[in-house]
Structure 1
Amino acid sequence: MKKLWLLVVMMAFAMLVACGSGDDGGDDASSDTADSAESTEEGNGETDGETFVIGATQIVEHPSLDRAYEGFQKALEDAGLNVEYNFESAQNDQNNVKTISDKFVADGVDLIFANSTPSALGALQATSDIPILFTSVTDAVDAGLVPSMEEAGENITGVVDLHPDAIQETVNFIDTYFPDSTVGMVYNAGEQNSVAQVDAVKEAAEGTSLTIAERTVANSAEVQQAATTLVGEADVFYIITDNTVVSALESVVGVANDQSIPLIVGEPDSLQKGGFATFGIDYYTIGYRTGEMAVQILTGEKAPSEIPPEFPPEIQLFINKDAAEKQGVEWNSDWDDMAQFVEAE
């Protein structure tokens, strides 16, 4: 009898040990599953709780560049990323560009948003490691930012602000509705972005009835005087997306209104400041698209070198009717169907 009782006790003990061993095995399996899930989550580039620091800079503050920056921020907000922005304007001073870029590198920002050609060049000269995204750049290839519009740089890519057809369409518009005109252009010859555009205007004007008259400036304080010297020579003003001149566009608007000279501009935001017409793009849109690229880079989905630079979406004719009246423009009924109308600020 004692032997039977001893056998029952031993069997019960063995069953308890077995159950304990099974529970341990279950815990290990759960732990392995959790570790595997955590590893997979990291591999998919999840950023829950992570805060990214972006160094944002532009050569000067004016409506077009400001709108591009707003669009950029909105894209990251829509993607749900936690972002801290360190914004710096170079105040149209080339010396500040290097200082700002070097500061971003020293601070170890996660990405640099370079909003203009000088800003992008400064960032690229400062780092080959930190991702750089540019916009509001007219010719990224000639500026040396990317090898071609089909190939990004090692750590840089972005969206340019000049549609391939914008200048040709603008010259055609002037030639059609203001034939035999002398087109007065004011620009900063120190801005590579501007030189490229002026060269493109000259090329587009070949074979037309138009003549180009140029004035160059070194800073915004010289803009009004340069525009004034064109009075009596220029029948039409054409102000491209030159940062120096656009930041002082009111000076040109004043001359255009006083002298009844139609003012063609390079982008829609300048219409709100008194320009008459443009074949342009929406800077908010190109900023937003650049922000979408930033999301891909920050989440680890793509490297900058894997995202080819892009042109902006299609352009269209924008007209400010109030400016047309102030500048003595004879209204053409064609424009009623062609244009999208913009009101002054």
Structure 2
Amino acid sequence: MKNLLKCGLALAAAFSLAACSGGSQSEDTTKIGIIQLAEHPALDQAYEGFMDGLKEAGYTEENTTFDYQNASNDLSNCDTIAQKLVNDGDDLIYAIATPAAQSVANQTTEIPVIVSAVTDPAASGLLEDNEKPGGNVTGASDLTPVEEQIDLLQQLLPDAKKVAVMYCSSEDNSKIQAEMAEEALDAAGLEWQEATVADSSSIQQVTESLIGNVDAIYIPTDNLLAEGMSAVAQVSNANGIPCIVGESGMVENGGLATYGIDYYELGKLAAKQAVDILNGDTTAAETPVAYLAAEDCVLTINKSVADELGIEIPEDLAKDAEMVETAS
């Protein structure tokens, strides 16, 4: 009897200890994994907007565990991080940029995945259809107004006749935008040539190859070139070749101008999708890919680059633009 009593007391103590040591807390805590391809302004803003959107909806550090991982623009790191987040059993994973999203999608068909900074999730193989995803992946597209960006090029550079379309050949996101830009340039009656880079070490060489051959460079929201924009600008601006780019962070690093989306708002849009899924109001399969409205696009012009290149900014553009200086 004494032995039975001791066993009973020990079991009761064990159950009590288990309850106090976090059993109920773990049930109440949401686990969100975050994988970001690289560190540069656009992707950083997509992360900040997502976090702020979640916190505004009540998902804070007090009730949510956030596991943020940056792959430093290394595809093998993306795979390793994606595997970790899936193995950790996160309730939802937020993937910023196409390669990061593809790595996560290859690792799980169960955990809801919200992507952002992905131009066309369906074309990138992340889901079946942007309107009806049908699986565990959905998100917020960073499809930029490419036609309007080419129109901006013509307004700022009316004498330009030939344009280089520069992008990383291994980024699906960039290939899609490059094709759109080439169609827009054809429609505008401008000549164009492709200028592709494979890695950061080739950026300077490829940019130098354009000297004397083009009047301007168009760069979409390309992750590699966003990270290496200062290397492009150092060569292009010194040789009188202005760059029209995909997002404002690239303007701050030496591009001439953009008419692009607000990545902070993109992150908040992705957060809204995440909250609806976490709250059980919908599923990723039933959530269409979301797009920012036209009013969320921002005209940004680098005044110091315009001055350096002797480009006069039309008054109708100047009055609506956010003017920036090249980042030091």
TM, length-normalised to structure 2: 0.85
Amino acid at match of 1:279: Y
Corresponding residue of 1:37: none
**1:241-256 equivalences in 2 (<5 Å):** 241-256=221-236
Percent identical residues: 38
**1:230-249 equivalences in 2 (<5 Å):** 230-249=210-229
Q: 1:336 to 1:104 in 2, by over 3 A?
A: same
What secondary structure sits across from 2:115 in the alignment? strand
Corresponding residue of 2:128: 147
1:176, distance to aligned residue in structure 2 (A): 4.1
Q: Distance in 2 between matches of 1:206 and 1:140?
A: 26
Amino acid at match of 2:266: I
Unaligned runs of at least 5 residues, structure 2: 1-24
Give the one of 86, 111, 123 matched to 2:104: 123
**1:91-240 equivalences in 2 (<5 Å):** 91-163=72-144, 166-179=145-158, 180-240=160-220
Corresponding residue of 1:22: none
Unaligned runs of at least 5 residues, structure 1: 1-46
| Runs of 4+ deviating beyond 3 Å | 342-345
Q: Deviations over 1:222-279 (max 9, x none)?
A: 1111111111112112111111111111001111221122121101122222221111
What secondary structure sits across from 1:190 in the alignment? coil
Contact 2:165/2:182 (<8 A) preserved: no
Q: Deviations over 1:87-133 (max 9, x none)?
A: 22222222222211111111111111000011111111110000000
Corresponding residue of 2:314: 332
Q: Answer yes or no: is 1:52 the counterpart of 2:52.
A: no
Q: Distance in 2 between matches of 1:49 and 1:341?
A: 48
How many residues align? The count is 297
Corresponding residue of 2:244: 264
Corresponding residue of 1:14: none
**1:29-40 equivalences in 2 (<5 Å):** none
Contact 1:143/1:192 (<8 A) preserved: yes
Query: Cα RMSD over matched residues?
Result: 1.9
1:329, distance to aligned residue in structure 2 (A): 1.6
Corresponding residue of 1:63: 41
Corresponding residue of 1:17: none
TM, length-normalised to structure 1: 0.81
Give the one of 62, 65, 79 matched to 1:84: 65
